[in-house]
């Protein structure tokens, strides 16, 4: 497993070793509760002290993650997906220290308190495999902050607005990923800020943003109107999963693709028009309440149907960061239920957990990768762990060919098959592939077995 390397990060070797121990324990236990994952009371106290220690700063934890990510992108075309989530600690309103890095959240309710997290998750653009985080921005909204209208929000400098998170994260991402062949920064509608295309984009940095407004064009037209009138480039069919929030059932969807090259005007008139490409993915012949309609803006050249479809596929990779957030919260580690009473300590724990979630996601995505693209089992498991997995694989396999592990033991997806079987997955090709929750349960089972495996070897050694 690619563990965190905190050597020379905190200026104290004892603290650095303890940090690496906690990092491993989070992955092995599948829990965010320090009480639950600690083996002794002394260990529990040591982990609490670590998370409260001033030398263990958020910036140093994020820098360690981004340094590992930087080393993995050399010569690659990568996607850097940005999004924001909020960690709601309202259930601990009467217990948590209100002056420890927390504030109000969206909605402004009195007990709706916590902090915001805005990561940049990096994927290999060719395989979709997660490579790490180029940046993670964490902040709180002050309790006493006036409303937008009261502080004349529209006239504030961008550096004083929360929307500056897009600029700051993008610029740090460019620095982290400077060894990549090219970087495509992907953002949702909140990131549709014209100045980003002026200040962030360059010869090897591209923005791919979902359009939020019908922008004016240099020819006096409007972006969406011109896109709607453009020539149909082609269409394709996709399977859309059921949506529990909108109550939409699973369906086959027909997607029409259009694209234009447009000269987009600056809303402030301070910059000349920019030549950008707009791509539309529209669901047609559908009875869905909310059919798919994506209008995407990019400075990546789009001159054909295949290039337009690639842009749509890249934007569709946003589901990966949404799955990260789900696994961080109720769908996995449940960070919002942390028993820690300091917001600063929970924020540091959150950063460490994001790395843990990434490793589980690497296993899930590796299972889907085609022959020859698997990153290899050593990215998550060392030699001793592989030996244990080999024994567990024999038990997980059935008597028929249909229930045999179909992958090479040197591949990460071979390990994922074993782990998923121990998480409750049936293992048949006719089934849905294993999900994050199944892998998460399987990992907990694996490390319980590994502890017994090591104990048996220790006892059996003369």
Please give the residue range of the domain that contains residue 261.
55-353
pLDDT over 80 (residue 461): no
Within a domain: residue 79? yes
Q: What is the mean pLDDT of residues 146-172?
A: 76
Which pLDDT value is given to residue 50? 96
Which pLDDT value is given to residue 41? 94
Within a domain: residue 407? yes
- Enter the tokens of residue 316: 């569709």
Q: Which of 324, 353, 382 is the last residue of a domain?
A: 353
Within a domain: residue 375? yes
- Enter the tokens of residue 100: 């420890």
pLDDT over 60 (residue 102): yes
Q: What is the pLDDT of residues 194-234, one digit of tens each?
A: 999 999 999 999 999 999 999 999 998 999 999 999 999 99
Is residue 304 domain-shared with residue 381, that is, in the same domain?
Answer: no
Is residue 331 domain-shared with residue 417, that is, in the same domain?
Answer: no
Mean pLDDT of the chain: 91
Is residue 300 domain-shared with residue 392, that is, in the same domain?
Answer: no
How far apart (Å, rounded) are the C-alpha atoms in residues 425 and 418? 9
Q: Which of 300, 328, 353 is the last residue of a domain?
A: 353
Which pLDDT value is given to residue 269? 76
Which pLDDT value is given to residue 1? 46
CATH number at residue 159: 3.90.350.10
Is residue 155 domain-shared with residue 276, that is, in the same domain?
Answer: yes
pLDDT over 90 (residue 72): yes
Is residue 289 domain-shared with residue 246, that is, in the same domain?
Answer: yes
Is residue 61 domain-shared with residue 124, that is, in the same domain?
Answer: yes
Q: Which of 415, 407, 357, 358 is nearest to 381 (CA)?
A: 415
Which pLDDT value is given to residue 146? 64
User: Would the CA dihedral through 365, 366, 369, 375 be positive or negative?
Assistant: positive
Q: DSSP state, 278?
A: E
Which pLDDT value is given to residue 152? 59
Is residue 343 domain-shared with residue 394, that is, in the same domain?
Answer: no
Is residue 418 domain-shared with residue 290, that is, in the same domain?
Answer: no
pLDDT over 70 (residue 346): yes
As for how many domains the chain has, the answer is: 2
Which pLDDT value is given to residue 106? 85
Within a domain: residue 13? no
Q: What is the mean pLDDT of residues 302-326?
A: 96
* CA distances to 129, 423, 454 from 438, in Å: 19, 5, 24
Is residue 416 domain-shared with residue 274, that is, in the same domain?
Answer: no
Q: What is the pLDDT of residues 406-444, one digit of tens each?
A: 999 999 999 999 999 999 999 887 788 888 888 988 988
Q: Inter-axis angle of helices 13-29 and 41-52, to 10 degrees?
A: 110
Using CA atoms of 197, 201, 207, 212 in order, give the dihedral in degrees to the nearest 10. Answer: -10
389 vs 161, which has greater pLDDT? 389
CATH number at residue 426: 1.10.740.10
Is residue 349 domain-shared with residue 394, that is, in the same domain?
Answer: no
Which pLDDT value is given to residue 247? 79
Q: Which of 286, 285, 262, 263 is nearest to 273 (CA)?
A: 263
Q: What is the mean pLDDT of residues 282-298?
A: 94
Within a domain: residue 17? no
């Amino acid at each position: 497993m690619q563990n965190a390397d905190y050597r020379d990060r905190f200026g104290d070797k004892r603290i650095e070793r303890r940090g690496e121990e906690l990092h491993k324990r989070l992955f092995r236990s599948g829990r965010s509760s320090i009480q639950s994952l600690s083996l002794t009371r002394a260990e529990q106290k040591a982990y609490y002290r670590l998370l409260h220690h001033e030398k263990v700063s958020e910036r140093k934890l994020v820098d360690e993650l981004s340094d590992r990510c930087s080393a993995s992108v050399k010569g690659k075309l990568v996607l850097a997906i940005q999004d924001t989530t909020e960690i709601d600690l309202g259930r601990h309103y009467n217990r948590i220290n209100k002056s420890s890095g927390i504030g109000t959240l969206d909605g402004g309710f009195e007990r709706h308190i916590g902090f915001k997290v805005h990561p940049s998750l990096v994927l290999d653009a060719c395989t979709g495999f997660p490579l790490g985080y180029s940046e993670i921005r964490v902040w709180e909204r002050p309790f006493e902050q006036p409303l937008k209208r009261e502080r004349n929000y529209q006239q504030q400098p961008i550096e004083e607005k929360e929307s500056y998170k897009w600029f700051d994260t993008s610029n740090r991402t460019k620095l982290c990923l400077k060894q990549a062949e090219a970087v495509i920064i992907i953002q949702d509608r909140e990131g549709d800020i014209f100045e980003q295309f002026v200040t962030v984009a360059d010869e090897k940095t591209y923005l791919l943003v979902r359009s939020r407004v019908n922008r004016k064009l240099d020819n006096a037209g409007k972006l969406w109107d011109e896109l709607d009138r453009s020539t149909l480039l082609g269409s394709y069919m996709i399977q859309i999963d059921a949506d529990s929030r909108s109550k939409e059932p699973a369906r086959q969807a027909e997607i029409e693709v259009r694209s234009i090259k447009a000269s987009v005007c600056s809303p402030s008139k301070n910059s000349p028009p920019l030549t950008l490409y707009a791509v539309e993915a529209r669901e047609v012949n559908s009875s869905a309440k909310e059919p798919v309609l994506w209008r995407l803006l990019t400075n990546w050249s789009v001159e054909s149907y295949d290039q337009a479809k690639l842009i749509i596929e890249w934007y569709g990779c946003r589901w990966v960061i949404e799955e990260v957030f789900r696994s961080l919260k109720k769908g996995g580690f449940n960070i919002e239920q942390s028993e820690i009473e300091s917001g600063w300590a929970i924020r540091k724990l959150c950063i460490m957990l994001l790395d843990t979630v990434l490793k589980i996601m690497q296993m899930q995505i590796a299972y889907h990768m085609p022959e020859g693209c698997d990153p290899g089992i050593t990215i998550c498991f060392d030699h001793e762990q592989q030996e244990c997995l080999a024994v567990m694989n024999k038990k997980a396999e059935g008597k028929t060919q249909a229930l045999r592990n179909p992958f090479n033991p040197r591949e990460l997806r071979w390990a994922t098959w074993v782990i998923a079987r121990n998480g409750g997955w049936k293992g048949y090709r006719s089934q849905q592939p294993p999900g994050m929750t199944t892998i998460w349960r399987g990992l907990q089972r694996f490390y319980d077995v590994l502890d017994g495996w090591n104990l048996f070897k220790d006892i059996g050694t003369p």
